[in-house]
Structure 1
Amino acid sequence: MLGSLGHVPAIWARRAVHVKSTRRRRLATDVLNNTIWALENSKDLLTLTSIPGISIAVDVLLGVLRRVTRARSNADAVDALCREISKLITVIEDVRGQVETRLNRHKNGSKEQHDLMHSLARSSELRSRMEGLIRDLEELLAMAEPLGEGNLLVRVWRSRRDEESIGSIKEGMTNAVLRFQSAGQVSIQDLVIGALDRMEHVHEELRAEAERQQAYRDEQTMRALPSTDWAGFRSTSNVEKRIYLPGTREAVFKRLTEWAASDKPVCFLIGPAGMGKSTIASEFCRRHEEELGASFFFRRGDPTLGSTSQFFPTIADQLAQSHRELRPHIARAARQHLQNGRSQQMRYVVRDLIGEPLRILAANGRTPRIFVIVDGLDECNESASQPELVSECLRLLISCAIQYSAFLRLLITSRPDHTHIEDELLRDSPLNNMSTLLYLYDIEDREAVDRDITELIRTRICSTPIGQEWYSQDPSVVAKLTRRSQGLFAYARTAADFVSRSAGAAQMDHRLELLLTEGNRFGLGDLDQLYDMVLETSFPPPDVDPDTGEQLRLILAWIALCQDPDGISPREFEAIAGISVSISIPIINKLRSVVVFKRQETGDGVTTDELALSKFSSIHVTFRDYLVDRKRCGSGYHVDAEVMHARLATDCLNKMHRCLRVPGDNDDYAMWYWDAHVAQARPTPELVDLLREIFLTASDVQVRSNFFSNSHWCVRSPEVVQRLVLWVEAKIDRTLARAVQGCSIAAQPAEPTK
């Protein structure tokens, strides 16, 4: 009995080992079952990655696991195998996560998503990698086939062999995972990313190309609008207005800065002619250029910059250029707008091209502050002939600013002698609370103005070595000119240039004496008298012979009536008017106090040939106004606008009538502006005869005028044709008007780029 009791601990030990072994087998079975369950549940999700062969690989892997579950194997071996399988699943899951992240960048069901998934399915590198994995797994499946075969007794008897087989399968799984993970030193993740990157690159190129095509269509649409490139503050036509002297007009800019920071959307800056409003407006544009939406500088007498017809299309075009978030909305609106024609009433232009895009911008919540600057509203050509158009233009502008006051700011400059702004303030009383009204005379005291003018005169006189030396001998000359300027910046600038452009100190003294002389017929109070002085000093009537007088009269007519914002060059003037460069340049040089060349250098800076190609124009609009106003300009220099428009139109037509256009010459003044002169001309016999000769013989090929190889007016603008036809019908007769209309329809040459 005692002997039998001695065997109890051994029995308990064997039983404990048996229990422990059973528990580990159960644990191993649980691990296998959990692995199979996890793999089965993730199979559909993994298959969604579109990686070729992933479904087959998962099925083979499940087959291996199911074979292993039949074997009575060591739990450690099973656990080690499951860990290797988990590594493979982790790799596949990581790839799936990368694919899902890329797909989530795009809208569900989108073409981008479809193409990305398709790119994975078509990837030869991925297919090759997956085929290698499937081969490895199929070999492991073949190794697992004998596991757990036979009845329970046989499986128990073969458990040792099965355990070794599972170990071999585990080693094979380790190698399979390594090969799948990084065969050829390229990870499976890199392969997937590469395939996705290539497809996304294709999409980026397609998207970029689509954007380029859309941008081109938008650009063509915007070009179809009746807008101008000459209106903005950066335009070469506004060079003189940009000459701002740092440190001057501080009181004005202080008030403008206060307005810009306020919640009032509109500011009116009012001041008389010659007070530097345009320079202030230009400098304000420069200071706020990052927020500048559009700027329009009106110019009296200019058919483009002096009219409301192109004002709002130009504002819309500049808004589209300066604010990318507005461009697609404006371009789309322009396409729809143009379906109703290029020449529409202002209210429809504003509603379509400005109001609707601003509404969309406001609705999207993307509302950066936008400044719109309008300079010289009083210089609009319609101010006298059709004042209701200017009033409507102003009213529509203000309504936009008030409607979108959260982000739109409108600055308008004008002269006090035009009552459009005051009328609008009286008509719309709420506007008084939403606008700032600034009068230059109220902002700046005379002392501050004189300080600025003093600095302006001193700077311009001392801009040359001769002028600097002359000033150093008697600095009081600046104070004398400042007093005579009487607060007019235009006078100060013109007077300073009149003195500084003298040929030496003696002539500077003489010109200063003329400016300061009391009691003469010129007076010293306004700019007209200065212009009288410049002309009579340069061309004293007793010294002007008939030929020179005619040449001077024609040059003054071109200065006053030239339609090109940049002016006309002496060489082109020679081709049109027949006055040689050798004659015109000396005359123009004597007018340099009131005339500016685009290239200002003289002497070694610019040769005579270069100067002959440089365009010249009036230094200030007041000089052009002065020349065409008989009450302000003496009869010796007065330019009769209607008569001289007829002369200029006749010269332009004659040039085109007798000469074929040189191919590629798209900067021909006569070609671009003859019609503008005709529409403002008196129907002189010479002009009428020439128009008849050109248009009434247009259908006869034998005698057809060379004019039709030059002119592109009929393509440029339907408004030009209509204006010309109406003028011909009113001033000449209906027969010729019909001929002009017929030619505009029949002749459609390719439009050149100016």
Structure 2
Amino acid sequence: MDALSSAASVIAVIQLTGSIVKLCGGYIQEVKDARDEIFTLQQAITGLQGTLQDLHKLLQSNDGLALPTSSRLVSNIIDCLSDLRALEAKLDPGKGKKLMRKVGLRALKWPLKRAELEGVIQNLEKYKSSFIFSLQVDQTSLIVSVAQNTDRINQNMDLGKLEGAMEAVFESFSDRDEVQCLQGTRTELLQQIMEWAMSPSQKSIFWLKGMAGTGKSTISRTVARSLQDSNYLGASFFFKRGEGDRGNAKKFFPTLIRQLMLRTSELRPSVQKALDDDPDITSKSLREQFEKLLLQPLVYLDQLGRQPRTAVIVIDALDECKSDSPSDLLDKQA
């Protein structure tokens, strides 16, 4: 049953609780020896009515169709409606007694015995508790949903300020036809690289060197694939001479940071601060970009004791970077 059906059922129960509260008011005025019991029932009905009104507001909200707990309450609401109708029938004095009251005869008698009243109130509290639980669950879901949406908006803001060369990323559309190592080839070297990648005690940089045309890019793509499959690939940048942003380092760090933030969301506040403090940081020197967009956010996480999981950055074909190559910077980090 959808949220609209639940809302319609809730309205019927709210109307019925109003009728019962009114009936109780009549008994309080005319039945002196049971006023405490009548007042207790009236308070229980009023409490249930308030909870149902809150539930109705939630179901009628724009998010009503996305409230899995509250929208499945129809059976409970129908049971509650049935019990309240039975209670109303028992409390309604009928036409004869109403006529007697009009001519001044006091013939109204409280129809519920103490044990029966306790059972009624217990049922009312049971319904109220189930409705409150549904409210709490779905309100919490809405809060979480809002927080997640806000987080996505903030994430998009961060990424919007980091214009990356996404065609340089592993498995980009422009590299769709690039080959990887054939199965069973380069196994010793690939194993050596993967062992390095998964060992925190190793040096921070694994530098693969070789003559042009010896298959370094093929190995890099194969390593990137293995790292991605094992959830160790943090970011990648495949340089390529003469291919726009892939042929220089202008968008090198923004491209890496975009990928790292998607993997490690804890980086975003520090990166956002760096962008806010210096909106032109992505046009500064590579060293300054490295320090403010990557190094300082990582150091900050370390100071908080929130070290991110191991992430390997794959950089290929540095020799094809036209100018301002990151190689000198990487040499000093090795």
Shorter-chain TM-score bucket reads 0.5 to 0.7
Counterpart-to-counterpart distance in 2, 1:331 and 1:215: 15
- Greater displacement, 342-351 / 359-368: 359-368
User: CA offsets per residue over residues 615-635 of structure 1, 9 Å max, x none?
Assistant: xxxxxxxxxxxxxxxxxxxxx
Q: Could you tell me which residue of structure 1 aligns to residue 114 of structure 2?
A: 173
- The residue identity in structure 1 corresponding to 2:222 is E
Post-superposition offset of 1:365: 3.0
Q: Following TM superposition, by how much is the alpha carbon of 1:395 offset from its aligned partner in structure 2, in angstroms?
A: 4.5
Report the CA distance shift for 1:173/1:205 in structure 2 as closer, same or farther (over 3 A).
same
Match of 2:182 in 1: 245
User: Matched residue of 1:373: which SS?
Assistant: strand
Residue in structure 1 matched with residue 162 of structure 2 by the alignment: 225
Matches within 5 A, 1:60-139: 122-124=50-52
Q: 2:299 aligns with which of 354, 359, 382?
A: 359
Change (3 A) 1:125 1:321: closer
Deviation at 1:121, TM superposition (A): 9.3
Work out whether residues 296 and 315 of structure 1, in 8 Å CA contact, stay in contact via their aligned partners in 2.
yes
- Call closer, same or farther: CA 1:333–1:177 in 2, change over 3 Å: same
* Alpha-carbon displacement from aligned partner over 1:464-500 (angstroms, at most 9, x marks no partner): xxxxxxxxxxxxxxxxxxxxxxxxxxxxxxxxxxxxx
Q: Report 1:11-26 matches (<5 A).
A: none
- State the alpha-carbon separation in 2 of the partners of residues 251 and 341 from structure 1: 41
Q: 1:199 to 1:122 in 2, by over 3 A?
A: farther
Letter paired with 1:279: T
Distance in 2 separating the partners of 1:228 and 1:312: 10
**Is structure 2 residue 210 aligned with structure 1 residue 274?**
no
Matched, 1:375 2:316: yes
Distance 1:249 1:199, change over 3 A: same
- What do the CA deviations read for 1:245-285 (whole angstroms, capped 9, x no partner)? 11111121122133234311221111111111111111111
Within the candidate set 240, 248, 254, 1:307 is matched to 248
The answer to whether structure 1 residue 288 and structure 2 residue 227 are counterparts is: yes
1:128-527 to structure 2, matched below 5 A, reads 172-183=113-124, 188-262=125-199, 263-264=201-202, 265-289=204-228, 290-326=231-267, 328-329=268-269, 332-333=272-273, 335-340=275-280, 342-362=282-302, 363-382=304-323, 389-395=325-331, 398=333, 431=334
Q: Which residue identity is paired with 1:277?
A: K
- Structure 1 residues 179, 266: CA separation in 2 closer, same or farther (over 3 Å shift)? same
Unaligned runs of 5+ in 2: 1-32, 37-43, 55-79, 85-111
**Per-residue CA distance 1:711-739 (angstroms, 9 max, x = gap):** xxxxxxxxxxxxxxxxxxxxxxxxxxxxx
The structural deviation recorded for 1:203 is 4.3
Count of matched residue positions in the alignment of Structure 1 and Structure 2: 240
Seen in structure 2, the aligned counterparts of structure 1 residues 182 and 122 have a Cα distance that, compared at 3 Å, is closer
**Normalized against structure 1, the TM-score is what?**
0.28
CA RMSD of aligned residues (A): 3.9
Which amino acid in the other structure matches residue 152 of structure 2?
A
Q: Distance in 1 between matches of 2:192 and 2:52?
A: 70
One-letter amino acid of the structure 2 residue matched with residue 225 of structure 1: L
Amino acid at match of 1:273: A
Partner Cα distance (1:235, 1:371) in 2:
18
Q: Assess if the C-alpha contact under 8 Å between 1:299 and 1:380 holds in 2.
A: yes
1:644-659 equivalence runs, <5 A: none
The structure number with the bigger radius of gyration is: 1
Distance change (3 Å), C-alpha of 1:365 and 1:177: same
Distance apart, 1:213 and its partner CA: 3.6
Query: Given residue 201 of structure 1, which amino acid in structure 2 is its aligned partner?
Result: D
Query: Residues 2-81 of structure 1: matches in 2 within 5 Å?
Result: none
Q: How much identity, in percent, do the aligned residues show?
A: 25
Whether the 8 Å CA contact 2:197–2:312 is kept in 1: the answer is no
1:189-243: CA deviation from partner (whole Å, max 9, x where unpaired): 3422323432542343244234324412421331222311111111122234333
For residues 152 and 274 of structure 2, the distance between their equivalents in structure 1, rounded to whole angstroms, comes to: 14
Sort the Cα spacing of 1:342 and 1:123 in 2 relative to 1 into closer, same or farther, 3 A.
same
Please give the secondary structure, in 2, of the residue aligned with 1:123: helix
For 2:287 and 2:218, the matched residues in 1 are separated by 30
- Asked whether the 8 Å contact 2:241–2:320 carries over to 1, the reply is yes
CA contact (8 A) 1:337 1:353 kept: no
- 1:181 CA displacement: 1.7
Letter in 2 for 1:311: F
CA contact (8 A) 2:237 2:315 kept: yes
SS in 1 for 2:244: coil
Give 1:309 deviation, angstroms.
1.5
Question: Aligned residue for 1:699?
Answer: none
- TM-superposition CA deviations, 1:520-547 (whole Å, max 9, x none): xxxxxxxxxxxxxxxxxxxxxxxxxxxx
Distance between the aligned counterparts of 2:235 and 2:223, measured in 1? 12
What CA deviation, in whole Å up to 9, does each residue of 1:414-448 have, x standing for no partner? xxxxxxxxxxxxxxxxx5xxxxxxxxxxxxxxxxx
Work out whether residues 294 and 315 of structure 1, in 8 Å CA contact, stay in contact via their aligned partners in 2: yes
**Does the residue aligned with 2:298 lie in a helix, a strand or coil?**
helix
* Residues in 1 aligned to 2:240 and 2:222: alpha-carbon distance in whole angstroms: 18
Partner Cα distance (2:48, 2:151) in 1 = 30
Q: Which runs of 5+ in 1 are unaligned?
A: 1-63, 68-91, 93-118, 133-170, 399-430, 432-754
Give the Cα separation in 2 of the matches to 1:275 and 1:211: 47
Paired with 1:209 and 1:375, the residues of 2 have a C-alpha distance of: 40
User: What is the CA–CA distance in structure 2 between the aligned matches of 1:240 and 1:291, rounded to whole Å?
Assistant: 23
Name the CA shift for 1:342/1:375 in 2 (closer, same or farther; >3 Å).
Answer: closer
For 1:174 and 1:367, how far apart are their aligned partners in 2?
A: 62
